[in-house]
Amino acid sequence: MPFFDRPVEKPEELFDREKEFESLKRAVDRYAMTIVVGFRRVGKTSLIKAATIDMPRIYVDVRKFEVLQYITYDMFLDELRKSLSNFLSFDKRIAEYLNVVKGLKVFGIEVELSQGRSRPLFTSILESLDRWARDRGVKLVFIIDEAQELIKLKGYSIIQAIAYAYDNLRNITFLFAGSKIGLLYRFLKIHDPSSPLYGRYIERIELKPLTREKAIEFLRKGFEEHRIKVDEVFLETAVQKLGGIIGWLSYLGLKTLNRGETNLRIIDEVVEEASKIVINEFCNFINAMGSKRYIEIVRAVSSEGATWSQIKRYLELRLGVKIYDSELSRLLKNLIDNGYIEKTNELYTIPDPILKYSSKSIKC
Ligand SMILES: Nc1ncnc2c1ncn2[C@@H]1O[C@H](COP(=O)(O)OP(=O)(O)OP(=O)(O)O)[C@@H](O)[C@H]1O
Ligand SMILES: [Mg+2]
């Protein structure tokens, strides 16, 4: 199994994940809506792409909205426009169906959308895709990667459109991926009685980091394939420092291949580079949330983990002000919803080994 620097696209390139692969295929066949959740770089996009490779699919990636405080319907439409243009190459006849949508025109292999008042409705686009799928006798998978970012969409109820499709468009199945699990649920609002999606069944597939044994096997097989010799100490140290996060393990694999030798120093270099990336992402979150108190909480939780009262004491000591319980609850909830910390029993911990490692040195 070689190492890849991008999401894997083909089933035969996936290491492990047989169970999740089968579950996902079954889910898109059977249910109207499926979510794939898991930490950053755990392999969500790879699993989704590989499992839907033989299906007609629209793939919209909204990760780029992560750094923004809010997004408009036009911004979402523009991403959708690009995905629809890609989809046209699947079957030229799709154009006939899309051209029926008010505010949408297909020119050759490009989709163009009107702006302002005459821009198309998401619902109408979904209806036309559903009709195409019905006439072809196929199921269309509509994928939104990092879907939780759409929670920032202002001025258009995308959930309303999705709920309408859930109930009425039988030839479309939705597949949402998200690394900020709590936010994804907040976006879908399935537990909120006032939400259009309330009470709908959503199949959930969770991707976990590889176990220690599997992570070692992933590295060993990758190196074997490239005829690079590795010793057990290298493998053990790599997995101890990078955890079972397949994205970081692949990164180490590629870097080692590039050097042509295994050396424990490369692992530390990867940890340092990964830390920079993780801190940068965390700082984007801090900027979007507008409070540096989150940094102090992550420091308080740090490598050992901490309880509610330990975090509170640490914060009050560091900031020199009283922290109200309601505020601490809100801050902790946002950190959990964004996947930065976890709560098990009474202990808050940082699940990402890289963020854990760099928690003391975060500066935003
Ligand atoms: N099952 C797998 N087998 C081999 N390589 C994998 C597998 N899953 C992921 N990878 C590799 O790990 C890296 C991260 O994968 P991917 O982008 O799919 O993860 P992700 O969970 O979508 O990450 P992100 O949270 O950044 O979107 C990629 O380089 C990819 O090639
Ligand atoms: Mg991804």
pLDDT digits 0-9 by tens, 146-162: 999 999 999 999 999 99
pLDDT of res. 165: 98
pLDDT at 275 over 70: yes
Neighbouring C-beta atoms of residue 68, cutoff 10 Å: 13
Mean pLDDT of 331-359: 94
Mean pLDDT of 187-195: 91
- At 307 the three-state DSSP class reads coil
pLDDT of res. 290: 87
- At 142 the three-state DSSP class reads strand
Q: Calculate how far, in angstroms, residue 270's C-alpha sits from the geometric centre of ligand 1.
A: 16
What integer best gives the mean pLDDT of the chain?
A: 95
Nearest-CA residue for ligand 1 atom 23 is 41
- How do strand 172-178 and strand 140-145 relate by DSSP bridges? parallel
Mean pLDDT of 213-236: 94
Q: Give me the residues paired with residue 361 across strands.
A: none
Full DSSP string of 164-199:
HHHHH-TTEEEEEEES-HHHHHHHH-TT-TTSTTTT
pLDDT of res. 9: 95
Measured distance CA(200)–CA(46) in Å, rounded: 27
Q: Is 180 in the pocket of ligand 1 (CB under 6 A)?
A: no
Neighbouring C-beta atoms of residue 176, cutoff 10 Å: 23
Nearest-CA residue for ligand 1 atom 8 is 43
| 118, two tokens | 């005459």
Q: Which band of pLDDT confidence, cut at 50, 70 and 90, is reported for residue 1?
A: low
What proportion of the chain, given as a percentage, has pLDDT over 70? 100
Q: Which ligand is nearest to the CA of 206?
A: 1
pLDDT at 101 over 70: yes
Mean pLDDT of 99-114: 95
For residue 98, give the nearest of 60, 143, 132, 140 by alpha carbon: 132
Mean pLDDT of 227-245: 94
The pTM of this model reads 0.93
pLDDT of res. 349: 96
Q: Calculate how far, in angstroms, residue 4's C-alpha sits from the geometric centre of ligand 2.
A: 14
For residue 188, give the nearest of 166, 205, 155, 206 by alpha carbon: 166
Query: Do 5 and 254 touch, CB atoms closer than 8 A?
Result: yes
pLDDT at 288 over 90: no
Dump pLDDT digits (tens) for 34-48.
999 998 999 999 999
Dump pLDDT digits (tens) for 121-143.
999 999 999 999 999 999 999 99
pLDDT of res. 234: 96
Mean pLDDT of 25-41: 96
Q: How many residues does the chain have?
A: 364
Neighbouring C-beta atoms of residue 110, cutoff 10 Å: 12
Centroid of chain to Cα 304? 26
Mean pLDDT of 170-199: 93
Neighbouring C-beta atoms of residue 348, cutoff 10 Å: 21
pLDDT at 326 over 70: yes
